[in-house]
Structure 1
Amino acid sequence: MDFEHSAKVKALIEKLEAFMDEHIYPNEKAHNDWVNDPARLWQPWPKVEELKAKAKAAGLWNLFLPHEYGKFSPGLTNLEYAPLAEIMGRSPWSSEVFNCAAPDTGNMEVLAKYGTPEQQRQWLVPLLDGEIRSAYVMTEPAVASSDATNVSTTIVRDGDDYVINGRKWWISGVMDPRCKLLLVMGRTLPENPRHEQHSTIIVPRDTPGVSIVRNQTVFGRMHSPGGEAEMLFENVRVPASSMILGEGRGFEIAQGRLGPGRIHHCMRSIGQAQRALEIMARRVENRVAFGRKLADQSSIRQEVARSYCEIEQARLLTLKAADQMDRYGNKKAKDIIAAIKVVAPQMAQTVADRAIQAHGGMGVSDDTEIAYFFALNRFLRIADGPDEVHMSQLGKMKIQEYNALKPR
């Protein structure tokens, strides 16, 4: 694997860093004040559309979409996108500015890969243009949804329509008034083999029968304007043309969607860990306790050094995973994708925890970004599959692989 970025990627890194310096970091406080103001709940920060227009004009747009998607993609590989996602991750809300934010990214990949021309015209094009937002509707309260084959919401054919019934929760982004599209996973063919029972279907957000049961907080945050929510689907009727790829292909779509999404999260986690370490280094250099700078304490230096080592290890594993996806496809790279999904969020949580400790009481406040980084990565260890599921599957794969080798 070549660790040297191409001239194209170097130019994009330079352009993206300049954009972050000019437009993102100076606006962090204004953005955070707006989205955490209860009086403005579910209202998008007004300046975000202005920044999106600037990013699009600068050519920093839809960078996440891999080159194999042809006309829909800016032409980057996963490996080329990795350092760019890391930079965006340093300020978590910034991904939206570049139209590289989940869950839209995964939904765009699904529509680009599996959608019909009409589905792409109606939904993919406005998503790629940043005109609308979307949600992916899979997780359910009544079943262990870390195994997607447990999903019990029903999608039943009725003449020229499908009728959907079920309860979902932890649906990110659905509270945003710009959310117009839901990709819903449910059970269509209960008599089929386990991994061929489910389907994924397009549901316009304003379809009758779709309702919000409650908003869900994450460590006390509403995550406005998108939020997380518990939802109810009661006799929701959509045309048969809304089915993506075909009946019984939902698990296949889910796996294809989550692979890239998982590694994108990891790229951003590394950016957050790197920034937390930089904030920590500045803090300990400028803070005196008991007559000595914190930076002169051997224990503090060890924490900084250990954090640096762990970030570098995770960064290299992420780059290797991206490279494997580019070379061999997401399915063949599933072992290393699982590995980095376990490693990166835990690493970022640990580094943020050390940075919090170095700041004392200030560390648990919103005076810096590190408390949010800690919470975000703790949440990420459950999102897109909990650590235990990834480790169980990874362990199973490696046991089988190593037992197939000739003993040496």
Structure 2
Amino acid sequence: MTDQFLQNAFLFRQPILNLKQELAGYQLSFRSADESSGNEAGHHQEAAGALCAAYADLGMHGALGKTLAFIGITADFLQQDEIDLLPPQGVVIELLLDGVPDTATLSRCRNLVDRGYSLALTDYQGIDDRSRPLLPLVTFIKIHVLDAEQRRLQELAGSLRQLPLKLVAQGVASQGQMERCRKLGFELFQGRYFAQAELVSGRHLSASHAALFRLCNLVGRDVDTEVIEDAFKHEPALTLNLLRIVNTVGNLGNRLAQPITSLRYAITVLGRRRLQRWLSLLLLAPGNDTADPIRSPLLQVAALRGRMMELLTVIGKPGDRKLADLGFLTGILSMMPSALGLSIEDILDQIAVEREVGSALRQHDGLLGTLLALLECFDNDDAACCDSVLNRLPGGFDRQTLNTSLSTALRWLNDSSD
């Protein structure tokens, strides 16, 4: 079943953030562009089985690291042995129940909780016959907030205020909506609102961002190491942050033999293209001094996209290491409008990039541009768009290629941020 789903559906993930706006987990789902709307329950059951098996076949448990995985389970599939493939730690079994839970469902839920599993109830509509028997068993309550009125959200959240539950706001579309949900007692927030670009014409860069742009340009123009080192000496805070990220994230996911403690050593060991990677990642880090840049969801999404771009570029052009490096950089730079509030044109006017990168970011031209378009569709959970872009790529690309690249990139990201 897993191989069939990996070939015929996309493994989508919706980020879930905590109160500190750090990545806490993902909502995982399998979806295809040609699903039959007439058998939605049957699809949910098949997809649940495939997701359970994917933990073993794709190594998703290790790939997701310390983040939670929310996996939707129907009442019928709840009784299946495949659930035992899911590790109790790190997985939240999300109950997709249409009606009042029967005796068998409640018994199974109690058994899972006794074995250490966490349960979530989705589509909460208030305390009723559906939710009442489950409230003592679940840890999370998910509420769709996208189209809900504020008064309705107050009623739903208020009905649970005295219970030891964590409220998950599902479908958060903006930073403002997240703040309103936070004030109502929500603790987790699902959606890509943190990556929505708010472009402001004529916006000026902060001093630290301007310094990073200067350093990126120096590295991109391949000037002498001494010139780059001297530029860093004028930016001690950036130097400390850069060394921290290089030592924490590592070298392409592999631990360095010894910590990097000097700029010259960092430049020599990493090489110019990899140094440009981390400089670009710093542009996506939180703007305050107290936030941990490694736990920034925008930085993690950018690094994940960059790594997937790199992996897919290797498939499209095997042996072209330079193009693979440029693929990583393209993925990172594509997220900068969200971080800086500048258009990609404004950003490319200030930073030196190679022609292939500029064409990919501006017009989605070339292999890098097509792969970027594919990952943008993938991040938007748009199966039809993914299929359309895949059809424009060589024969080595299919749905399974994309799913496997996601698992590999997630493992790299979590291995390198421990």
TM-score normalized by structure 1? 0.24
TM-score (norm 2): 0.23
Structure with greater contact order relative to length (CA < 8 Å, sep ≥ 6):
2
